[in-house]
């Protein structure tokens, strides 16, 4: 913004908010976000109020609202700016919660089932929640690990699993994560006996799907830190848990490598 008139050119505004100049022109043409003024040469310039309205438009767009509906919302004389912010905050929070639940379901399957699901879509939703991505996840997993021996083992073993087996596995996974979180909270050292026992429980649990050596388990542990989805899943259970699980597995495996 220029210090004198506190306005932005259309190009600077587009760069600031992350949209194209063409998008700003379109918003102007339909009366959704109009420039605060024009220069003597006829170029659009945006003042602080216009930029603030543009941010509100883009937030509603991110939430899936149509442009026409956004215009009605923003121009409602009974709704002030603070009310819009509260509405948008609530909608964004709800969306974040849904995405986090989906990520949690994916992480549980990546760790505990190793992509070998044989349940029907209805059974998957019943056990892992309504947001479980199902076939899309299975396709991603096969593309990534389909040529490995672990994948073949997992496919063979999980083909024999029943619905009750999957329910038991989910309960065991939840219990193991809770026990890891309790050890972290209690200050149990990651290289101590308690954490080592949990690391062995983790390896045994993975071993239900494919033969999991200590070396392979440490590879999984590295993924828990490197993959943001894993890290977020564990850290949602307890802050710092991803690092603690990683360190416990690495320390327990060290004498066997």
For the chain, the three-class secondary structure string (H helix, E strand, C coil) is CCCCCCCEEHHHHHHHHCCCHHHHHHHHHCCCCCCCEECCCCCEEECHHHHHHHHHHHHHHHCCCCHHHHHHHHCCCCCCHHHHHHHHHHHHHHHHHHHHHHHHHHHHHHHHHCCCCCCCHHHHHHHHCCCCCCHHHHHHHHHHHCCCHHHHHHHHHHCCCCHHHHHHHHHHHHHHHHHHHHHHHCCCCCCCHHHHHHHHHHHHHHCCCCCCCHHHHHHHHHHHHHCHHHHHHHHHHCCCHHHHHHHHHHHHHHHHC
> Residue 106: pLDDT above 80?
no
Q: Considering only 92-106, 160-174, 225-239, which range has the smallest mean pLDDT? A: 92-106
Q: What percent of the chain has a predicted confidence (pLDDT) above 90?
A: 26
Q: Mention every residue, 6+ apart, whose C-beta is less than 8 A from residue 67.
A: 27, 30, 32, 57, 61
pLDDT of residue 4: 42
For range 142-158, the mean pLDDT: 70
Share the mean pLDDT of the chain.
81
Q: Please report which confidence band the pLDDT of residue 250 belongs to, taking 50, 70 and 90 as the band edges.
A: very high
pLDDT of residue 247: 96
Handedness of CA 227, 230, 236, 237 (dihedral sign): negative
Rg (CA), the chain: 26
> Residue 176: pLDDT above 80?
yes
Are 176 and 201 in contact by the 8 Å Cβ rule? The answer is yes
Which residues are paired to 38 by β-bridges? 44
pLDDT digit string, tens, across residues 20-64: 999 999 999 999 998 877 777 778 889 888 998 998 898 888 877
> Residue 175: pLDDT above 50?
yes
pLDDT of residue 33: 92
pLDDT of residue 200: 96
Residue entry with tokens 């056990």: 127
**Pairwise pLDDT comparison (156 vs 143), residue with the higher score:** 156
> Residue 146: pLDDT above 90?
no
pLDDT digit string, tens, across residues 123-140: 666 666 655 555 555 555
Residues of the chain with CATH 1.10.490.50: 94-256
Q: Please report which confidence band the pLDDT of residue 3 belongs to, taking 50, 70 and 90 as the band edges.
A: very low
Q: Considering only 118-127, 149-158, 184-193, 202-211, which range has the smallest mean pLDDT? A: 118-127
Residue entry with tokens 């388990």: 217
Are 8 and 45 in contact by the 8 Å Cβ rule? The answer is yes
Residues of the chain with CATH 1.10.1660.10: 8-74
| Yes or no: domain 94-256 corresponds to CATH 1.10.490.50 | yes
Would you tell me which CATH number, out of the four given (3.10.129.10, 1.20.1250.20, 1.10.1660.10, 1.25.40.10), belongs to the domain 8-74?
1.10.1660.10
For range 198-222, the mean pLDDT: 90
Q: Mention every residue, 6+ apart, whose C-beta is less than 8 A from residue 144.
A: none
pLDDT of residue 2: 42
pLDDT of residue 249: 96
């Amino acid at each position: 913004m220029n210090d004198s008139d506190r306005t932005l050119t259309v190009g600077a505004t587009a760069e600031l908010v992350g949209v194209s100049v063409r998008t700003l022109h379109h918003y102007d043409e339909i009366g959704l976000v109009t420039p605060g003024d024009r220069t003597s040469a006829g170029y659009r310039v945006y003042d602080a109020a216009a930029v603030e309205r543009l941010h509100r438009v883009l937030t509603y767009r991110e939430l899936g609202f149509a442009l026409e509906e956004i215009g009605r919302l923003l121009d409602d004389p009974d709704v002030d700016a603070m009310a819009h912010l509260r509405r948008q905050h609530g909608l964004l929070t709800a969306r974040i919660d849904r995405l986090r639940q989906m990520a949690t379901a994916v992480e549980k399957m990546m760790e505990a089932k190793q992509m070998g699901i044989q349940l029907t879509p209805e059974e998957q939703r019943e056990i892992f929640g309504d947001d479980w991505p199902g076939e899309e996840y299975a396709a991603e997993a096969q593309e990534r690990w389909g040529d490995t021996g672990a994948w073949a083992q997992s496919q063979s073993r999980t083909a024999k699993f029943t619905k009750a087996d999957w329910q038991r596995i989910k309960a065991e996974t939840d219990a193991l994560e809770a026990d890891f979180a309790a050890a972290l909270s209690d200050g149990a050292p990651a290289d101590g006996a308690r954490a080592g026992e949990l690391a062995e429980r983790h390896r045994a649990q993975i071993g239900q799907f494919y033969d999991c050596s200590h070396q392979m388990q440490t590879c999984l542990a590295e993924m828990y830190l490197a993959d943001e989805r894993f890290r977020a899943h564990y850290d949602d259970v307890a802050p710092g848990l991803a690092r603690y699980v990683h360190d416990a597995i690495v320390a327990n495996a060290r004498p066997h490598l």
